[in-house]
Amino acid sequence: MSENVEHVKCLIIGSGPAGYTAAIYAARADMAPLMYQGLQPGGQLTITNDVENYPGYPEGINGPSMMIDFQKQAERFGTDVRFGLVTKVDFTGPVHRVWVDDKTEITADSIIISTGASAKWLGLESEERLNGFGVSACAVCDGFFYKGQDVVIVGAGDTAAEEATYLSKLCKKVTMLVRKEEFRASKIMADRVLNTPNIEVLFNHETVEVLGENAVEGVLAKNNKTGEELTLACTGFFVAIGHKPNTDIFKGWLDMDQTGYLIVEPGTSKTKIPGVFASGDAADKVYRQAVTAAGTGCMAALDAERYLTETGKH
């Protein structure tokens, strides 16, 4: 155990829209929250160029600027925002213990988890280079920018099928690359895709490279069976091969589904451990939007305040 253990009323782990919203509410309720930003301060929005669907920004805003605004607002009310990664937790006692960067120990009366999720990528250099310049992992967030254009989407599950269908309503043509001979998606979702006239599904195809210097201009794909390559002209490339919630450190402590999303009591942010609350994409595999994350961050702070009051710690 470290010699100097710092104790706080409310610890917030993670710093996307959920974490910052929780911080704003907790700070205004005199809970003196301490936030550790994690590996990616600002979360997934820091790799999002244009955010046009968050209320209050009529002209839109870029993701990093938006997260700076969120941080300033949280700090204005007294949130102590620090850079650091929570690497270990111990939820055995009524006071919860966490370790930051494997060395600093913090104890907290309440904890709000907002560690988010990370999109899974194919791992191509061109995909990384053009991320935000035509490459996206969220059709609902970015589909609007490709209205009337041709796009390519990669994936075989329900999310990919849902996103392809969503894009088909906006785009001229959607080409779907499925690595195997069949969908992993449920039959109803697969049928929906196959019955949409402007979606073309290429089974047994995978992405070799995303083409374009400064923006996506096309995709080089390969037929797994014949080895034949083909170039698909497009302006948008969507990766829909899943998300991984950043919840590994909570394994064994909190209930989660098979993918790792934290399970909360329906209609609340409460986990099975009293005083530990979950918000944002770490507990949401359905909506995964900035505005829904912010909403659950608010819920978590209100739930935490109620908990602290009921236990006489606030």
73-85 tens-digit pLDDT = 999 999 999 999 9
CA within 13 Å, CB half, 205: 23
pLDDT reported for residue 207: 98
CATH code at 6-118+243-310: 3.50.50.60
Report the predicted TM-score, pTM, of the whole model to 2 decimal places: 0.88
pLDDT reported for residue 3: 56
CA-based torsion, 158, 163, 168, 173: positive or negative: negative
Positions of CATH 3.50.50.60 in the chain: 6-118+243-310, 121-239
The whole-number average pLDDT for the span 281-302 is: 96
Residue 280: band (very low, low, confident or very high) from pLDDT cuts 50, 70, 90:
very high
- Mean pLDDT, the chain, as a whole number? 95
pLDDT reported for residue 2: 46
**186, 194 contact by CB (below 8 A):** no
Sequence letter at residue 86? V
The whole-number average pLDDT for the span 3-15 is: 92
- Residues catalogued as catalytic: 138, 141-142
Residue-wise pLDDT for 172-220, tens only, equals 999 999 999 999 999 999 999 999 999 999 999 999 999 999 999 999 9
Residue 238 has which token pair?
Answer: 């969507």
CATH topology of domain 121-239: FAD/NAD(P)-binding domain (3.50.50)
Sequence letter at residue 33? P
**67, 41 contact by CB (below 8 A):** yes
Q: Is the pLDDT of residue 309 over 80?
A: yes
Q: How far apart are CA 173 and CA 150, in angstroms?
A: 5
Residue-wise pLDDT for 42-68, tens only, equals 888 887 778 989 999 999 999 999 999
Work out whether strand 243-245 and strand 117-119 pair parallel, antiparallel, or are unpaired.
Answer: antiparallel
Q: Is the pLDDT of residue 1 over 60?
A: no
